[in-house]
């Protein structure tokens, strides 16, 4: 017989799996779609999951032969992997043609054999050549990374460069042949004679003995600056060269007629907003805009207003300036746009065109202006304070928007033409008029009609016409989708008549879909996820507690719609024919759904008593895809891939029968839109707790005002009024007998009006167990056990923890051992765990702390993030519920400016780092500390890190030591181990990656070279001696040499046997203010970094 054991839940399809017994441990390795290699490493009897993502497309097979793992997949990929220091590591790969479905190694011929598309068989033989250990990562080895015109570019190769001859090949993107430059030592310099905006390509040839290798880029875009490849095929290097663009003027713009001047023709004293856009992504001439200014004048002098960031709409970023003009007859303006990778760019033009230049004089000669080619539209609206929206005729291209004043009057300037004018006001039917506006003044008056719920709607598909602004139940911006501005979910409207529900959905779709889930109560669906619904309807969606959809609206490209009744987790019924819907403007749809369709077979009036509709609207792709924009917005982040699973955590609630009379509420019940009657909502009872043998404590939802409570010993009877004018949302009621009591509460407004009674809640008075528990809301050690602690009354005989893992239906049960229940490590790798506690006493009564319907949520995240101010003393704990905590203690003035600190725990079994010494076989723990924006600490931070017993197998705990990784080497730090609390403490000014290792005997802390860099930003003219120079603090060493370079790589100062640079060049001149590169050689060990001079 076989026992099913769940080891690890992966995502996507798995194609092949093997079991491997190795010297360092046992492994289960599987490959699958989306280039994932999943492997489980056995340690101390447990399997630890590690996910390797080599980025090689879908993977189809894995086989172990000749001490190697051979993995094959799509696009002709065949990769060779080995186990190194407990990690699966790619050692070589081959690219054939087509897909490779199986692969192996033939020991007789020493050939790798693979089979692929069209019946092809491929073979390859392992080469005996020695690949040089060299690298070129542009963000580290190209100075500057984004060169400006006439700024020379230094290309640097790192690693074992003394054993190879290096040649640089480069050309412009449009050229057909490469030029070449020989390297001097490990550097080559390209003379920059290129014009701005030119794309330059290059690759590097390395000759070792008689073998030739080529360094090339894995990526194909200008933004790929962090990866490289090495090959013996020149064709690969030519087809995948490194690339950079000569930073000239930026790709920025101000398009007036596309809404980038609002309003187009401002009135005196009216706020004017001017936008400038910038191409921030894509393979074109994108740039990183960091700010800028608006220059304007109404007379002879130019005034300056700084730009502020407004929004992202991929691939553009938008900035804005706001000002109010008293009056103007000649308003002129242009923009100055600043970049960190392009030249300062000026934007100018006219109403129809936008131009750019690096010459400010051109912008001043040809500024934008507000001309006199406008007309005036004015009038009155009843009611006042209404919103007027003016659209281009026949479209929803918004041209202007204004609110009427308190008397209902409005006046605005507008260009001539034909427009659709909409007037909107809460509680009134929207009115639309089409008007042709010519020069001069046009008067347009409106008298809106009141609407009252319930109300009939003759749907047009236009949200502005069919709904009142007060029927907008959830707003969502049209610029927050992960899939860009062409795939969005927007606003959501709800209204109703006596027998029909009306829904309005806004959005944008480009060959994608919007699905709206509707939960009408405990009626049909009761499903927890949409994965197993029939083809075309299924989505990789998981629903939160309290939301169980009964219906799904599916919209495709705002051109087709289907309405499905969800009858089970695997079955649906298409009831599109029972509803009415209309589209408008390729971005709106209004749906009319009869109540007798929602509640088919229900014959008692119109609605089940107390009906509340619940909604989630999600933008997705097709079959099996997942959410990438929602209304309402969710707290959790969407997955990167189109089909990554997503669990909703928020939904819209819309009560429609507050008075529980089986009829849709009128406006007097809802308190809308009538302003003279607004009763408080009903305060439903949330908890009844036994606090002594004859006393209970009753809590209810706080809705404001005062409260009253009725008590009865008979079901469905109001009983007697126990108390009223209660000021808090709870009461204790004593002197009760061992009976079943029934309670109902109500709210009282300031005028003494009562709400409707709450739903009846009962309580059987007998002895109940008690539970005391401090809620666990976060956990910062994913992949480690979570200990849930609670105290129980002495009569408790059964006490259990129940929990669910995010994205799974299964509920797990764990008994408490005295006061602790443990959630195992393999269940703590998702973002959330939902838990509750149940206790039973000797009387057979049970008590819950939380429940399956309303569990407590543990958010799992390996990072604690905190802002730190310069004058702030702070202690940042990684895990607030941990008894022996990891923390960083920061004194006042550790940082010179406000910073954001990220303190992270990195599971050592899922981090691939080179090890510092052959004797250091495996890290015990790994942590990370990052500072944004990067600001070197000016004082030591006191740091305590926790380590776990399960990682100490074979380790001498007393020899634990902290090491810091400087991107090339591990450096030991003097540390103090607390074996009783499993912590290790140290002080440092460094940030980055820290690991805990067992210290080998050959580690000498006194010879660790460079200890600290002080004053990376210094002021040579400062009267404060401590700030006058760049200083290096070292241990006692034999030799020190400091070199100072400009960003272009020019050596300006060499200093021997000193640990300071005073800001002067080799000739004794003062170096110009700016950024420089330092290189310090301490006993043969080289450290590099950036410094800056401020005058």
Residue 57: pLDDT band with limits 50, 70, 90? confident
Residues 6 or more apart in contact with residue 893 via CB below 8 angstroms:
870, 871, 938, 939
Pairing of strands 856-860, 778-779: parallel
Q: Inform me whether the pLDDT recorded for 788 exceeds 60.
A: yes
- Greatest mean pLDDT among 183-187, 759-763, 919-923 lies in 183-187
Phi, psi of 908 (to 5 degrees): -65, -15
Q: Inform me whether the pLDDT recorded for 1002 exceeds 60.
A: no
> How many Cβ atoms from other residues are within 10 Å of residue 347's Cβ?
26
DSSP 980: T
Residue 853: pLDDT band with limits 50, 70, 90? confident
99 versus 881: which is more confidently predicted?
99
Task: Name the residue among 86, 79, 72, 80 with its Cα closest to residue 22.
Answer: 86
Alpha carbon of 120 to those of 32, 112, 113, 126, 1037: distances in Å?
22, 14, 11, 20, 63
Given this model, what pLDDT does residue 678 score? Answer: 46
Residue 136: pLDDT band with limits 50, 70, 90? very high
Q: Inform me whether the pLDDT recorded for 910 exceeds 90.
A: no
Phi, psi of 1066 (to 5 degrees): -60, -30
Alpha carbon of 905 to those of 32, 43, 656, 784, 899: distances in Å?
28, 19, 47, 11, 20
Residue 673: pLDDT band with limits 50, 70, 90? very low
What does the alpha-carbon distance between residue 975 and residue 145 come to, in Å, rounded to a whole number?
A: 38
State which H helix or E strand residue 788 sits in: strand 786-789
Domains 375-447 and 863-1008 share a fold: no
Alpha carbon of 675 to those of 132, 671, 829, 846: distances in Å?
80, 8, 51, 47
Residue 1030: pLDDT band with limits 50, 70, 90? confident
- Greatest mean pLDDT among 54-58, 196-200, 672-676, 890-894 lies in 890-894
What does the alpha-carbon distance between residue 1086 and residue 941 come to, in Å, rounded to a whole number?
A: 25
Percent of the chain residues topping a pLDDT of 90: 35
1025 versus 242: which is more confidently predicted?
242
Q: Inform me whether the pLDDT recorded for 1011 exceeds 60.
A: no
Q: Inform me whether the pLDDT recorded for 319 exceeds 90.
A: yes
Q: List beta partners, residue 1030.
A: 1061
Task: Name the residue among 734, 723, 737, 742 with its Cα closest to residue 685.
Answer: 742
Given this model, what pLDDT does residue 15 score? Answer: 87
What does the alpha-carbon distance between residue 224 and residue 218 come to, in Å, rounded to a whole number?
A: 8
Q: Inform me whether the pLDDT recorded for 339 exceeds 70.
A: yes
Q: Inform me whether the pLDDT recorded for 3 exceeds 80.
A: no
- Give the mean pLDDT of the chain: 85
641 versus 832: which is more confidently predicted?
832
Q: How far is CA 212 from the centre of its chain?
A: 43
The domain over range 375-447 is classified in CATH as 2.40.50.140: no
Please tell me the CATH code under which domain 252-370 is placed.
2.60.40.10
Give per-residue pLDDT as tens, 962-984.
888 766 667 788 889 998 888 99
Given this model, what pLDDT does residue 1007 score? Answer: 46
CATH topology of domain 1011-1093: Immunoglobulin-like (2.60.40)
282 versus 702: which is more confidently predicted?
702
Given this model, what pLDDT does residue 882 score? Answer: 54
What does the alpha-carbon distance between residue 1081 and residue 1085 come to, in Å, rounded to a whole number?
A: 5
Taking residues 724-737, report their average pLDDT. Answer: 89
What does the alpha-carbon distance between residue 438 and residue 418 come to, in Å, rounded to a whole number?
A: 9
Residue 209, classified by CB atoms within 10 Å of its CB into exposed (0-12), middle (13-18) or buried (19+), is exposed
The domain over range 14-125 is classified in CATH as 2.130.10.10: yes
Taking residues 247-271, report their average pLDDT. Answer: 87
What does the alpha-carbon distance between residue 361 and residue 355 come to, in Å, rounded to a whole number?
A: 13
Q: Inform me whether the pLDDT recorded for 679 exceeds 90.
A: no
> How many Cβ atoms from other residues are within 10 Å of residue 852's Cβ?
13
Given this model, what pLDDT does residue 9 score? Answer: 65
51 versus 995: which is more confidently predicted?
995
Taking residues 418-425, report their average pLDDT. Answer: 93
> How many Cβ atoms from other residues are within 10 Å of residue 345's Cβ?
26
Given this model, what pLDDT does residue 924 score? Answer: 85
Q: Inform me whether the pLDDT recorded for 892 exceeds 60.
A: yes
Taking residues 748-760, report their average pLDDT. Answer: 79
Residue 284: pLDDT band with limits 50, 70, 90? low
What's 863-1008's CATH class? mainly beta
Taking residues 668-672, report their average pLDDT. Answer: 46
Residue 176, classified by CB atoms within 10 Å of its CB into exposed (0-12), middle (13-18) or buried (19+), is exposed
Q: Inform me whether the pLDDT recorded for 8 exceeds 70.
A: no
Prediction pTM value: 0.47
Pair 1017, 1091: CB distance under 8 Å? yes
Task: Name the residue among 282, 363, 368 with its Cα closest to residue 317.
Answer: 282
Pairing of strands 695-700, 730-733: antiparallel
Q: Range with the lowest mean pLDDT among 208-212, 661-665, 720-724, 1036-1040?
A: 1036-1040
146 versus 163: which is more confidently predicted?
163
State which H helix or E strand residue 466 sits in: helix 463-466
Task: Name the residue among 825, 713, 707 with its Cα closest to residue 763.
Answer: 713
CATH topology of domain 134-245: Immunoglobulin-like (2.60.40)
Please tell me the CATH code under which domain 771-860 is placed.
2.60.40.10
Taking residues 661-688, report their average pLDDT. Answer: 66
Given this model, what pLDDT does residue 923 score? Answer: 81
Taking residues 599-617, report their average pLDDT. Answer: 83
902 versus 48: which is more confidently predicted?
902
Taking residues 244-269, report their average pLDDT. Answer: 87
Radius of gyration of the chain (CA): 35
Cα dihedral 910→913→914→916 (10° resolution)? -100
CATH topology of domain 679-764: Immunoglobulin-like (2.60.40)
Q: Inform me whether the pLDDT recorded for 675 exceeds 50.
A: no
Spell out the domain ranges in the chain. Answer: 14-125, 134-245, 252-370, 375-447, 463-655, 679-764, 771-860, 863-1008, 1011-1093
| 3-class SS of residue 781 | coil
Residue 575: pLDDT band with limits 50, 70, 90? very high
Taking residues 127-133, report their average pLDDT. Answer: 79
What does the alpha-carbon distance between residue 567 and residue 590 come to, in Å, rounded to a whole number?
A: 24
What does the alpha-carbon distance between residue 622 and residue 818 come to, in Å, rounded to a whole number?
A: 50
Burial 655-689 (b: 16+ CB within 10 A, else e): ebbbbbeebbbebebbebbeeeeebbebbebeebe
Region for 827 from its dihedrals, namely left if φ exceeds 0, alpha if ψ lies in -120 to 50, beta otherwise: alpha
Percent of the chain residues topping a pLDDT of 70: 90
Q: Inform me whether the pLDDT recorded for 911 exceeds 80.
A: no
| Beta strand extents in 340-439 (DSSP E only) | 345-349, 354-357, 368-370, 375-382, 387-392, 398-403, 409-414, 417-424, 431-437
Region for 460 from its dihedrals, namely left if φ exceeds 0, alpha if ψ lies in -120 to 50, beta otherwise: alpha
Pair 962, 944: CB distance under 8 Å? no
Phi, psi of 513 (to 5 degrees): -135, 160
Q: Inform me whether the pLDDT recorded for 374 exceeds 90.
A: no
What does the alpha-carbon distance between residue 1049 and residue 983 come to, in Å, rounded to a whole number?
A: 44
């Amino acid at each position: 017989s076989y026992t099913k054991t769940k080891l690890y839940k992966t995502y996507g399809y798995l194609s092949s799996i093997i079991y491997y017994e190795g010297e360092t441990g046992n492994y289960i390795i599987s490959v699958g779609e989306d280039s994932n290699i999943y492997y489980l490493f056995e340690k101390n009897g447990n399997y630890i999951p590690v996910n390797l993502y080599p980025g090689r497309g879908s993977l189809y097979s894995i086989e172990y032969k000749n001490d190697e793992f051979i993995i094959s997949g799509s696009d002709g990929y065949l990769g060779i992997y080995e186990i190194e220091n407990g990690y699966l590591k790619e050692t070589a790969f081959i690219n054939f043609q087509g897909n490779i479905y199986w692969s192996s190694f033939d020991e007789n011929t020493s050939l790798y054999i693979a089979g692929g598309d069209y019946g092809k068989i491929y073979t390859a033989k392992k080469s005996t050549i020695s690949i040089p250990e060299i690298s070129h990562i542009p963000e580290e080895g190209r100075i500057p990374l984004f060169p400006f015109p006439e700024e020379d570019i230094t290309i640097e190769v790192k690693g074992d460069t003394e054993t190879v001859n290096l040649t640089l090949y480069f050309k412009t993107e449009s050229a057909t042949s490469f030029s070449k430059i020989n390297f001097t030592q490990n550097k080559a310099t390209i003379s920059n004679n290129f014009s701005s905006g030119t794309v330059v390509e290059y690759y590097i040839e390395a000759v070792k003995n008689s073998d030739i290798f080529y360094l090339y880029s894995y990526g194909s875009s200008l933004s790929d600056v962090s990866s490289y490849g090495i090959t013996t095929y020149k064709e690969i290097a030519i087809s995948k060269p490194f690339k950079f663009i000569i930073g000239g003027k930026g790709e920025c713009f101000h398009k007036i007629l596309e809404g980038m001047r609002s309003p187009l023709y401002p009135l005196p004293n009216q706020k004017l907003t001017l936008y400038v856009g910038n191409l921030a992504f894509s393979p074109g001439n994108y740039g990183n805009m960091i700010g800028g200014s608006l220059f304007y004048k109404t007379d002879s002098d130019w005034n300056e207003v700084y730009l502020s960031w407004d929004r992202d709409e991929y691939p553009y970023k938008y900035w804005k300036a706001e000002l109010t003009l008293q009056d103007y007859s000649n308003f002129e303006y242009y923009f100055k746009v600043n970049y960190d990778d392009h030249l300062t760019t000026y934007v100018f033009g006219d109403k129809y065109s936008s131009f750019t230049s690096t010459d400010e004089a051109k912008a001043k000669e040809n500024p934008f202006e507000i001309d006199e080619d406008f007309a005036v539209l004015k009038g009155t609206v009843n009611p006042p304070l209404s919103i007027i929206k003016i659209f281009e005729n026949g479209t929803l291209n918004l041209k202007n928007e204004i609110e009427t004043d308190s008397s209902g009057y409005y006046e605005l300037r507008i260009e001539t033409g034909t427009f659709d004018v909409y007037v909107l006001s809460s509680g009134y039917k929207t009115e639309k008029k089409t008007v042709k506006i010519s020069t001069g003044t046009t008067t347009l008056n409106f008298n809106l009609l009141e609407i009252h719920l319930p109300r009939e709607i003759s749907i047009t598909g236009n949200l502005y016409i069919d709904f009142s602004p007060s029927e907008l139940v959830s707003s969502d911006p049209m610029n927050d989708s992960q899939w860009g501005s062409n795939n969005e979910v927007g606003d959501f409207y709800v209204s109703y008549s006596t027998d029909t529900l009306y829904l309005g959905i806004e959005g944008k779709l480009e060959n994608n879909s919007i699905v709206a889930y509707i939960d009408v109560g405990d009626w049909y669906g009761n499903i927890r996820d949409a994965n197993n619904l029939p083809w075309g309807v299924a989505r990789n969606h998981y629903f939160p507690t309290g939301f169980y959809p009964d219906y799904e609206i599916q919209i495709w490209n705002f051109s087709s719609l289907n309405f499905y009744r969800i009858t089970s987790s695997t079955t649906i019924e298409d009831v599109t024919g029972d509803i009415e819907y209309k589209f408008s403007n390729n971005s709106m749809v209004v749906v009319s759904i009869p109540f007798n369709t929602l509640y088919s077979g229900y014959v008692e009036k119109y609605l089940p008593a107390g009906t509340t509709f619940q909604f989630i609207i999600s933008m997705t792709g097709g079959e099996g895809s997942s959410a990438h924009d929602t209304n309402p917005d969710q707290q959790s982040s969407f997955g990167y891939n189109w089909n990554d699973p997503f669990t909703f955590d928020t939904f819209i609630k819309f009560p429609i029968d507050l008075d529980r009379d089986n009829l849709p509420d009128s406006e007097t019940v809802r308190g809308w839109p009538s302003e003279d009657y607004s009763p408080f909502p009903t305060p439903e009872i949330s908890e009844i707790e036994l606090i002594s043998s004859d006393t209970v404590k009753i809590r209810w939802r706080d809705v404001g005002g005062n409260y009253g409570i009725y008590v009865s010993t008979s079901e469905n009877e109001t009983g007697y009024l126990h108390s009223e004018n209660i000021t808090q949302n709870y009461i204790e009621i004593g002197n009760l007998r061992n009976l079943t009591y029934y309670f109902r509460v109500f709210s009282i407004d300031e005028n003494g009006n009562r709400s409707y009674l709450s739903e009846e809640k009962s309580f059987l008075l007998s002895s109940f167990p008690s539970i005391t528990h401090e809620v666990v809301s976060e956990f910062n050690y994913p992949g480690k056990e979570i200990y849930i602690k609670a105290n129980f009354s002495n009569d408790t005989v059964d006490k259990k923890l129940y929990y669910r893992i995010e994205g799974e239906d299964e509920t797990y049960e764990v008994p408490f051992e005295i006061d602790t229940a443990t959630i195992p490590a393999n269940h703590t790798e998702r973002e959330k765990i939902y838990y509750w506690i149940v206790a039973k006493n000797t009387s057979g009564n049970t008590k819950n702390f939380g429940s399956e319907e309303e569990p407590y949520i543990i958010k799992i995240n390996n990072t604690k993030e905190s802002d730190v101010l310069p004058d702030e003393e702070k202690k940042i704990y990684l895990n607030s519920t941990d008894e022996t905590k990891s923390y960083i203690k920061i004194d006042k003035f550790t940082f010179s400016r406000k910073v954001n600190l990220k303190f992270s725990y990195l599971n050592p079994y899922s981090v691939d780092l080179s090890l510092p010494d052959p004797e250091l076989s495996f890290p015990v723990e790994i942590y990370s500390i990052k500072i944004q924006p990067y600001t070197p600490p000016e004082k030591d931070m006191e740091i305590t890190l926790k380590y776990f017993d399960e990682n100490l197998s074979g380790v001498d705990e007393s020899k634990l030591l902290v090491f810091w990784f400087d991107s090339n080497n591990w450096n030991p730090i003097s540390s103090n181990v607390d074996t009783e609390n499993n912590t290790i403490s140290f002080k440092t000014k460094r940030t980055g990656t820290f690991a805990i290792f067992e210290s080998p005997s050959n580690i000498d802390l006194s010879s660790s070279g460079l200890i600290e860099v002080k004053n990376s930003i210094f002021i040579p003219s400062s009267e404060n001696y401590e700030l006058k120079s760049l200083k290096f603090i070292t241990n006692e060493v034999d030799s020190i040499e400091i070199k100072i370079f400009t960003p272009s790589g020019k050596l300006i100062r060499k200093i021997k046997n000193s640990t300071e640079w005073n800001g002067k060049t080799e000739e004794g001149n003062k170096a110009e203010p700016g950024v420089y590169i330092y290189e310090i050689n301490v006993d043969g060990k080289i450290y590099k970094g950036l410094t800056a001079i401020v005058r």
